[in-house]
Structure 1
Amino acid sequence: MSTVQSDPRPGARRKSPADRAAEVAAAAREIALADGLAGITLRGVAARIGVTPALVSHYQPSMDVLVADTFAAIVAAEIGEVAEELASCARQVAALGALIDSLLGPDRSPVTALWLDAWSFGRRNTALAIEVGVQMDAWQAFVSGLLRSGVAAGEFTVDDPDAVAWQLLGIIDGLNAHAVVRYGHAGSLRGLVRTVAEHELGLASGALGTTTTTSMD
């Protein structure tokens, strides 16, 4: 029968399985945001919390699953954060403008980088590929829901909110991907996204705010 290696730190308190699993998950999230999904390794997580790799392996035997779960936790939290940001908007037009500003802002760069990692690593990590699909669907449903609310309120005119949601997310993802590798500045191109959204939603030019664009460097 195999045994679980104890915490190597002198005088360290033995933690419950639930506490240790939570510690491993928290360490993985910290590593992901600092170093990307590639940084989530047995040795990396073990070093972060000061235990042996064997102990990490006991609580999380599959690093592919840990990577996938970490990605999912961070992206799901971001959706929650954005939802809170938009909750104070009195109209859906204002909420959409705020959404565009937020997703193309510098504060979202760490999560954008994780999306790029996930799209790439998902080719070889089945669990991650599945989670990428789940989270992409969640974002599409979130944006589509905002558009549908705007239609119901008489603010937007659009026949297929689902398709427009995918279109907007595709443009935003592309601009953010460019910015991650320092090709242009996504924030300076918010006007481009606003212009597309206004056209697709039957809004007057400028309804979502300034539409001035800046060419990419």
Structure 2
Amino acid sequence: MARMRLSVAERRAELLRAAVAQIEARGAAAVRIADVATALGVSNALVLYHFSTKEQLVAAAFAHAAEEDLARLRKILGRRSAAGRRLRAAVRWYAPTGQAKGWRLWIEAWAAGLRDPELRRVAASLDREWKSALTAVIEEGVAAGEFPCPDPSGAAWRLTAYLDGLAVQTTVYSGGLSRAAMLQWADEALARELGLAPDAD
């Protein structure tokens, strides 16, 4: 009975959380409306009332999960500290051995997005937000004289591409680099992009 008292927004959030869990367990291509409905003990029709197609559900679930990580990134980058310190904290959190939750989901989105235009559009939009957030803080650090990075936008692109590649390696394959080595690589990549010595804080 408590389930019937959920607001539309609460119900939608519940469905999205269940969809994220099913995508992580089954993969974006294999997950079905019925899997999400069964996980919550509701009808397929209820899921379809909120999301008229499986493609819409998957894209919305991915956006829901990715927005949580984006909110955390904005919080890290919005701290009152030197730009370089904030960037290092963000990179260490974003790195595959950090606390960012969404690597398996991002990899699923990249793969499924090759055939799903809606998911590709959502993933591309969120990816641009990640790069824009990093670019803005790099520009802030350059303006403050913290580091000499001549191309903040390019640095953000290269840095995220590098970390995305590491994420694929460590998420898809097991027995790779240690956590300490991975974080060292992430720190070194950031230092290169900012034009700092590798051990700069």
TM bin, normalised by shorter chain, reads 0.7 to 0.9
Residues 1:107 and 2:125 aligned together: no
State the match for 1:134 in structure 2: 125
Q: Does structure 2 retain, via aligned residues, the 8 Å contact 1:75–1:135?
A: yes
Structure-2 separation of matches of 1:184 and 1:139: 26
Q: Does structure 2 retain, via aligned residues, the 8 Å contact 1:176–1:186?
A: no
| Residues 15 and 86 (structure 1), Cα distance of their counterparts in 2 relative to 1, 3 Å cut | closer
User: What's the % identity of the aligned pairs?
Assistant: 29
State the match for 1:77 in structure 2: 68
State the match for 1:214 in structure 2: none
State the match for 2:177 in structure 1: 185
Measure how far apart 1:14 and its partner are: 6.5
Kindly indicate whether structure 1 or structure 2 has the higher relative contact order, using CA contacts under 8 Å at least 6 residues apart.
2
| Residues 40 and 89 (structure 1), Cα distance of their counterparts in 2 relative to 1, 3 Å cut | farther
Structure-2 separation of matches of 1:111 and 1:96: 19
State the match for 1:155 in structure 2: 146
Cα offsets for 1:121-174 (capped at 9, x unmatched): 001111001111101101110111110111111112122110110000011011
Q: So what's the TM-score if we normalise by structure 2?
A: 0.86
Unaligned stretches of 5+ residues in structure 2: none
Unaligned stretches of 5+ residues in structure 1: 1-9, 209-217
Residues 1:91 and 2:82 aligned together: yes
Residues 1:52 and 2:49 aligned together: no
| Residues 69 and 12 (structure 1), Cα distance of their counterparts in 2 relative to 1, 3 Å cut | closer
Residues 1:204 and 2:194 aligned together: no
Stretch of structure 1 that moved more, 175-184 or 78-87: 78-87
Q: So what's the TM-score if we normalise by structure 1?
A: 0.80
Structure-1 separation of matches of 2:8 and 2:92: 41
Q: Does structure 2 retain, via aligned residues, the 8 Å contact 1:122–1:129?
A: yes
Stretch of structure 1 that moved more, 88-97 or 124-133: 88-97
The one-letter amino acid of 1:29's match is: V
State the match for 1:3 in structure 2: none
Residues 1:146 and 2:143 aligned together: no
Structure-2 separation of matches of 1:38 and 1:185: 29
Q: Does structure 2 retain, via aligned residues, the 8 Å contact 1:118–1:129?
A: yes
